[in-house]
Chains A and B, each alone.
Chain A
Amino acid sequence: MTEILAPGDVVLATSAATKTDAVREAGAVLVRAGAVEPAYVDAMLERERSMSTYMGNYLAIPHGTEEAKGTITRSALCLVRYDEPVDWDGEPVRVVVGIAGVGDEHLEILSRIALVFADMEQVQRVLDAPTAAELYAVLQQVNEE
């Protein structure tokens, strides 16, 4: 799990003014982690314009387009949690999971996140986690159940 979603790539933030800012923020984490080239962030925004990546249950999963896969260095995820809901095309988003996926390596951790967010009790734990480390622990727990 650490290879794809490193503890350092789970970030707690207060708020984002717009959806675009939130996507840029997630993209910046992926760039900083050395997973994608800066051009991938533009592809994430482009993807968002054609179709929202809002998933429901306060979660959005911005990611690039099929064509932008060449700008991905390695598969990686990042997670940014906001204290204030971000307006995601009218939907409230608290957690933004940025995805850079080339092969199938990221699917395992992504499916773990999916299972967490399918369960409102678990979602509440993610939203309530006081620190990034404890949030990370919530995601890890799903694995062990």
Chain B
Amino acid sequence: MIMPNLPAFLAWGLITTLFISVGWWPNGILGGFGNADVMSWQGAATALAQAEDGTTFRQYVGLVGPMITYLLPLLIANAGGRVVYGERGAVVASIVAVGMITGSTIPMFLGAMIVGPLSAWVMKKIDALWEGKIRAGFEMLVNMFAAGIAGAAMAVIAFFGFAPLITRVSEWLGDGVGWLADNGLLPVMSIIVEPAKVLFLNNAIGNGALVPLGAQQVAETGKSLLFLVEANPGPGLGILLAYTFFGIGMARSSAPGAAIIQFFGGIHEVYFPFVLMKPALIIAAIAGGATGVATNAAFGSGLRGPAAPGSIFAVYATTARGSFLGVTLSVVLSFLVTFLIAAVILRASRKRDLESGGGDLQAAIAQTEANKGKSSSALGALAGAAGATSASATDPVRPVRSIVFACDAGMGSSAMGASILRDKLKKAGRTDVTVVNRAVATLDDSADLVITHRELTDRARGHAPTARHVSVENFLSSPVYDDIVRELAADSEGAKA
């Protein structure tokens, strides 16, 4: 769910590092904190905001807020839905995610990770109810409305049902942190704070629980280590550098850039995906975080205000006088502890990751495609016979129950091809396999096997990414048909045996 969307996280991290009010190059329009009545740029989206004196003004919406509130959770839900149920699952998951996002006031990453795959799975089950029972010619209509209605209903359920639940969970986490702080169990806080952070509840925890408590301590003693529990950039840097040296694939190559955004820019969110990809790393983050807290407790060091964003510069800018040694050590030690543990975890699973493609979705797909030659020799022969390509982006053993012939207009060649194959399958006794024809433009991902003219196969693949694709050059007497019939006849015998 996370990996394919990494570029979006980095883009958001970069924009945030630069343009927020405490960024490198503050910009009220892009960063979303400027007063539109005062500034000159017209036509951009604005929202009413309350100034410190209680008056309201038109504030620019900017890039930062919408991206983290809408874009990132939507992408996560979309990817999660796609894994479960292809393009159709991705669409339904995105619809439902909006219910999740707007049903809460905190960024809905956790919610998107739950409802994305879940709603796609529900859609799959709903479709299975009437699969093959729809009258010919009505498939498109039923498919469109089924997904539309189910998506709308689940979005409402997410809004009223799931969103408040997830919001409550983040409140509980905040309460838990507050309780630990009150009871002097400071390093133990990391056990809650670090996992909550990577679920993007960092602001809920930081601003909701730690900052108010910290402010109280500052009022009493002039400094507080609570500001550093969540904002310490050490653990994140440890995770990212461990990936830089011991990771594989896309994660390894994007980790160094993310480390700069994280450590200097203070945008911790960019390392969360790296932990989510390999959840065992949360142990490294917790140990590092706890080390940092314990160090500050031992040295009696702390910050005099919240370090926001959690950049090393912001940390030093707010470090209380006399606390520089303790704060520096807390960052360095938490980095070292996280780095070492993360390195061990990454090294231990490296071999397995390389074999499976690194838990990386795209690599997994490529791997499946590479494996396909071995696992489906029938299809390989079939591709050879057609003198064209055939590739699968999904489970190579997906049984073929529905075949779609697609052509440009859907009124001629695909209909003829479908008739011929239907006839051949009938003679082979496989009347349970449906063969239909349609225009490429109306193709969806519900078919198991899609047959197109060589020139249209790429387009068809775009419409039906998880289906198996076969190209033909001659719709009338392609050797492909006999290969398919042979494969399916073998399938049914295998099933009987």
Q: How far is the CB of B407 from chain A (nearest CB, A)?
A: 9
- B416 touches which one: A47, A50, A51, A110 (CB < 8 A)? A110
Cβ of A55 under 8 Å from chain B: yes
Q: How far is the CB of B443 from chain A (nearest CB, A)?
A: 13
A110 to B476, CA, bound (A): 12
Of the listed residues B137, B439, B477, the one surrounded by the most CB atoms of chain A closer than 10 A to its CB is: B477
Q: Give the contacts of B461-477 with A (CB-CB under 8 A).
A: 473-477
Residue numbers in B under 8 Å from A118 (CB-CB): 420, 423, 476-477
Cβ of A59 under 8 Å from chain B: yes
Known: A59-B476, A66-B439, A118-B477. A53 touches B416 (CB 8 A): no
Q: How far is the CB of B441 from chain A (nearest CB, A)?
A: 7
**CB–CB A56/B475 < 8 A:** yes
Residue numbers in B under 8 Å from A101 (CB-CB): 411-412
Residue numbers in A under 8 Å from B409 (CB-CB): 47, 63-66
Chain A 58-99 interface mask (CB, 8 Å, partner B; 1/0): 010101111000000000000000000000000000000001
A103 to B423, CA, bound (A): 22
Cβ of B332 under 8 Å from chain A: no
A1 to B475, CA, bound (A): 23
Interface size class of A (residues with CB under 8 A): 20 to 34
B: number of interface residues (CB 8 Å): 27
Chain B 393-435 interface mask (CB, 8 Å, partner A; 1/0): 0000000000000001111110111111011000000000000
Cβ of A107 under 8 Å from chain B: yes
Q: Give the contacts of B132-165 with A (CB-CB under 8 A).
A: 136-137
**A-contacting residues of B (Cβ < 8 Å)?**
136-137, 408-413, 415-420, 422-423, 437, 439, 441, 453, 455, 473-478
**B-contacting residues of A (Cβ < 8 Å)?**
47, 50-51, 53, 55-57, 59, 61, 63-66, 99, 101, 103-104, 106-107, 110-115, 117-118, 120
14 additional contacts, CB 8 Å, given A59-B476, A61-B416?
Answer: A51-B455, A53-B412, A55-B474, A55-B475, A56-B477, A57-B476, A64-B409, A66-B439, A101-B411, A111-B416, A111-B418, A111-B422, A114-B475, A118-B420
Cross-chain pairs A/B with CB under 8 angstroms, 15 sampled: A51-B408, A51-B455, A53-B413, A56-B478, A107-B437, A110-B415, A111-B415, A113-B416, A114-B416, A114-B419, A114-B476, A115-B423, A117-B416, A118-B476, A120-B477
